[in-house]
Amino acid sequence: MPAGSNAKRERQYEHIKAGAQQRGASPGRAKEIASRTVNKERARTGEADRASRTSTKGKSASARGGKRSGNRMAPKSGPTRDQLYNEARQRGIQGRSSMNKRQLEKALGR
């Protein structure tokens, strides 16, 4: 932890580091994530000596609620258009070749 941090920030650092490691981050990456998050919070609240413009703008990590954590390229839930098309073909739905994914879902009753 940086010099001048208090007990609350120490607990926050350890909590974030442990959470990152549970999600599969390496120990070094977990330390980096925790340090960056805590330092940003310190900058936002005026505890840090210096603060970049990006540290003080936008939502804080706690307000974001983990919206940017984890795998950003996770696949969308549900079947692909091709999977829906094949199911429509098996059910004999007319006009399926010109349907988009949303239309196929509607035709299949999803």
SS3 category, 100? coil
Q: Find where tokens 């390496």 sit.
A: 26
Domain range annotation of the chain = 7-64, 76-110
- The per-residue pLDDT for 90 is 95
Start-to-end CA distance of the chain, whole Å, equals 51
For 61, half-sphere exposure in the C-beta direction (CA atoms, 13 angstrom radius) is: 18
Q: How far apart are CA 84 and CA 104, in angstroms?
A: 6
Q: How far apart are CA 51 and CA 14, in angstroms?
A: 22
Whether 16 contacts 33, CB under 8 Å: yes
Summarised one tens digit per residue, pLDDT across range 39-88 is 888 888 888 878 777 777 777 767 777 676 665 555 667 899 999 999 99
Whether 56 contacts 43, CB under 8 Å: yes
Find the range with the poorest average confidence among 2-6, 26-30, 38-42, 90-94: 2-6
